[in-house]
Amino acid sequence: MVVAIVAAITIGPLYGIVALFAVAGGWWAFVRMQARGALDKALSTIGGEPIDETDFPRWVNVVDGLGVSSGVSDAELRVLDSDHANAVALASPNRSVLIATSALLDSLSVVEMEGIAANLLGRVKDGSARYGTVTFGVLGGFLGSIDAAGKLVADGLGDQRDVHSDLVAVALTRYPPGLARALEHLDRIGTTVAGTAPNTAHLWVAPVVDGDVGVDAAIAATVAQPLAYRAAVLDEL
């Protein structure tokens, strides 16, 4: 609008209209390009190595089983080497990727794994994983520095996003204590992952940056509910 107004005043109204359409078209093309590559951009930022049933058979079986019941099948599975336990769901229109840390896969029981897998698959199913991935692709460079970008992400995810994702998860498993115990387990192990970019915080199951350093304030308020609080909510069901 600023470019169009300047062009209209200095050159003429017709040029202002042309400038408006040119800038709008350029912005639309930029957003489309960034959104299209958002999942790959998130993968390159977060990392992780592909796994199959020979690497972590319990995790693969749990995800496959819940994938059938949830309608979210063929999710790609990756593992990220870390002493702390956390996981992340990424999605595009035709692809979904679940990344779990090695500590999570090595330490949780099958029932606890089922709760975490349901949380991740639930995010893919309800569209929040895709929204989080796309907004990271488009706005990732602005998160933590421009308030409007963080507010847009937080508003799209909704109030108490993590609690909502827990409720979606237990609707899949029909067993709230499983996820509640998993969240308590994560709290004991720790969920921060060294080297994680703060602008990916809204994608993770649990707080991933120590003390929310560098995380946009609006996003931190939306996705950083304490794990003990989330477990307590589930125990009330």
Structure confidence at residue 76 (pLDDT): 96
% of the chain exceeding 70 in pLDDT: 86
Average pLDDT of the residues in 17-35: 58
Query: How does strand 49-50 pair with strand 87-92?
Result: unpaired
CATH 1.10.357.10 fits 49-235, yes or no: no
Tally helices (H) and strands (E) across the chain: 12, 4
Sign of the CA dihedral with 219 first, then 75, 86, and 34 last:
negative
Structure confidence at residue 214 (pLDDT): 83
Give CA–CA dist 88/205, Å, rounded.
6
Question: Is residue 45's pLDDT more than 90?
Answer: yes
Give CA–CA dist 153/134, Å, rounded.
10
Supply the pTM of this predicted model: 0.86
H helices of 127-216, where? 128-139, 147-157, 161-173, 176-189
Structure confidence at residue 52 (pLDDT): 84
pLDDT, tens digit (0-9, with 9 covering 90-100), for 100-120: 999 999 999 999 999 999 999
Domain ranges of the chain: 2-35, 49-235
Give CA–CA dist 113/66, Å, rounded.
11
**DSSP-assigned states of every residue in 45-102:** HH--EE--TTT-HHHHHHHHHHHHHHT----EEEEE--SS--EEEEEETTEEEEEEEH
Band (pLDDT 50/70/90 cuts) for residue 187 is: very high
Question: Is residue 27's pLDDT more than 70?
Answer: no
C-beta neighbour count of 93 within 10 angstroms: 10
C-beta neighbour count of 126 within 10 angstroms: 13
